[in-house]
Structure 1
């Protein structure tokens, strides 16, 4: 006996499917790749080549910092711990913190050197002291990235130095940025620092949004000839956070202007729409061979989306393959709520079983077998 493999798609009551012209809030970008995300609701406001692995330049230093921050949280490493500077680190070209070979430097100073100075020398010091070599550290970065869900990311170094195996997507960079905000609330404020002096040399943070009074509090710029000018940024206004990534711009001024334009648009042209409250039943799913024939589906918290001003309707569909074979556990994901907003990527929300439903006894299995046999002998007739 087996469950019938049917793709079920139910339109949620109260939300209508309508044909809409592209809303006035729709926007394009000159960036080669871009992603703008409303973090609180998970709504993608803009997506362009967001899943394409691209050279990330110094934006990949965010992964180096994630590895260091995690070590600070999980080992005996402290901000006052000191790392020794190797000749390899000292010889690094590009953006530098101007470390001196053979000297030691505090971990906190290295953090500032990476964030503010974008120091390639600082990244190599971190890599060598945490993993023994930069190559070993890059391998750890790739493995950790997989654990974090960075599906398109591979790392060949700790700095973002051009290499064919150094790749990240806009989706991965935005996800990583939000993980830094969420996982390290005590360390994330370093990203808002605008200047840092080391060895008598003061350098300014290259993140242009930090100086524009837009609520920006991070994260990292990047530039190589191959990658163009890019930025991963996050900003918070009135308890609403927006994270964006752009890359492939032609100049630093283009990067500043485009990131400012997109950030203002994201905060200005959208309003939050509450669709379902926490613990509200969104749909019911049919069960097979269970003590109950159906189970209620709920989301893990309230369901809210950001909708462009001027758009009145959104669509929502519950998708699952069913009937679902019992038993099911309370909290088990059984379906997905797919929310459609004209001009935006769908928002997908996992739907969970509200209650546990045990597998049925002999009578339930006999009834299921009879239903399966009936459908094989007398298949359903489509009607209109």
Structure 2
């Protein structure tokens, strides 16, 4: 069961001030916009964030996530090569096929090159070749995408193909789900994210000797400090969209805009939105690294309790220039079963402020708790018979 404990000793709570205030205002023509601070879990802005929309090329983030996960598991290697099937080349070659990395029929292409082609160049051809190379067919690969979506909790998303090409509504996402996918990519695969998502351009040399250099369409790269991903998207149906991220002074934001009506509008709104996130909001430290916040109950352990400490300096996100009233509680699913290792993430500190929704910060075990020995297990069993 989930346990809740007030953290009154940790946070000074002003009982006279109700937690009912508005955060900083942001005005955008984007029909859909969403921003989250990954450092605190705070949602900074949400405008129709749960409306199902066609993702266009932002769907490629899931194709890349699937590939990253297979690489992490050792089931896929960056130097592994896949052939460009003639029928795939015919379908995804030429102006009618949208963005391309100019793959050639019969060409053997490495997974690494395909990933650059997807992330930097938004190559529709690269997505399909990678999908077919991994799963045999693109529909089979789409099943992998949906399995990952389920694992990641993308409850309002479904993928019918690998590149976000219009498919009569089978492929859809929400801004909130796109932000979750971006967060998972950054946190689950940090080295691969760093390698592939921050390239400003990519150059290929064709068999004819022709050199083709294409720029990344990410509107934040080189414009907003700390910007390092993720993915743009555009179709007539979806309009212009972008899922982006940037990190400044250890604080990382993820933003999504969708449904804009022009390339330049997407660029200007994305820059304005991300700058607003960093300027209008600021971190507010609540717990120092290593400080004990409370205890959690332990089941079947040599100790009945384990201390809960901050694994790093913990900060919430608040409007710049404010020091808001806060209310906090410790939350965990327990009693927590032994054995427990010091540093294990076993609980969360959930903090509510007047300016937004709850913010969730991790708490870790202060010390190891071994499984109970024979005599303690017998003792616990005895008292358990009486429901004590």
Q: In which range does the TM-score fall when normalised by the shorter chain?
A: 0.7 to 0.9
How far apart, CA to CA, are the structure 2 residues paired with 1:362 and 1:115?
56
Partner of 1:168: 173
Partner of 2:48: 49
Partner of 1:240: 251
Residue 170 of structure 1 deviates from its aligned partner by 2.2
User: SS of the counterpart of 1:210?
Assistant: coil
Residues 281 and 147 (structure 1 numbering): CA distance in 2 closer, same or farther, change over 3 Å? same
The yes-or-no answer on 1:348 pairing with 2:354 is no
Residue 133 of structure 1 deviates from its aligned partner by 0.4
* Residues 85 and 99 in structure 1, CA contact (< 8 A), matched pair in contact too: no
* Residues 295 and 354 in structure 1, CA contact (< 8 A), matched pair in contact too: yes
| Structure 2, unaligned runs of 5 or more | none
How far apart, CA to CA, are the structure 2 residues paired with 1:338 and 1:87?
53
- After superposition, the C-alpha distances for 1:290-330 in whole angstroms (9 at most, x for unaligned) are 998876544554432122113212422326699x7687664
Residues 26 and 296 (structure 1 numbering): CA distance in 2 closer, same or farther, change over 3 Å? farther
How far apart, CA to CA, are the structure 2 residues paired with 1:290 and 1:211?
52
Of 35-44 and 312-321, the range deviating more from structure 2: 312-321
Residues 309 and 130 (structure 1 numbering): CA distance in 2 closer, same or farther, change over 3 Å? same
Residue 231 of structure 1 deviates from its aligned partner by 0.5
Residue 160 of structure 1 deviates from its aligned partner by 0.4
Partner of 1:84: 84
How far apart, CA to CA, are the structure 2 residues paired with 1:353 and 1:50?
35
Partner of 1:381: none
Q: 2:127 aligns with which of 118, 123, 131?
A: 123
Of 257-266 and 172-181, the range deviating more from structure 2: 172-181
How far apart, CA to CA, are the structure 1 residues paired with 2:165 and 2:366?
49
User: SS of the counterpart of 1:135?
Assistant: helix
Matches within 5 A, 1:28-47: 28-47=27-46
The yes-or-no answer on 1:66 pairing with 2:72 is no
How far apart, CA to CA, are the structure 1 residues paired with 2:331 and 2:222?
47
Residue 260 of structure 1 deviates from its aligned partner by 0.7
How far apart, CA to CA, are the structure 2 residues paired with 1:170 and 1:223?
15
Partner of 1:178: 183
Residue 202 of structure 1 deviates from its aligned partner by 3.3
Give TM-score scaled by structure 1 length: 0.80
Q: 2:8 aligns with which of 12, 31, 34?
A: 12
User: SS of the counterpart of 1:125?
Assistant: helix
Q: 1:303 aligns with which of 314, 331, 335?
A: 314
User: SS of the counterpart of 2:25?
Assistant: coil
Q: 1:262 aligns with which of 263, 273, 294?
A: 273
How far apart, CA to CA, are the structure 2 residues paired with 1:258 and 1:330?
47
Residues 365 and 214 (structure 1 numbering): CA distance in 2 closer, same or farther, change over 3 Å? closer
Residues 154 and 361 (structure 1 numbering): CA distance in 2 closer, same or farther, change over 3 Å? same
User: SS of the counterpart of 2:357?
Assistant: coil
Q: How many residues were matched structurally?
A: 364
Give TM-score scaled by structure 2 length: 0.79
Of 201-210 and 275-284, the range deviating more from structure 2: 275-284
* CA RMSD after TM alignment: 3.5
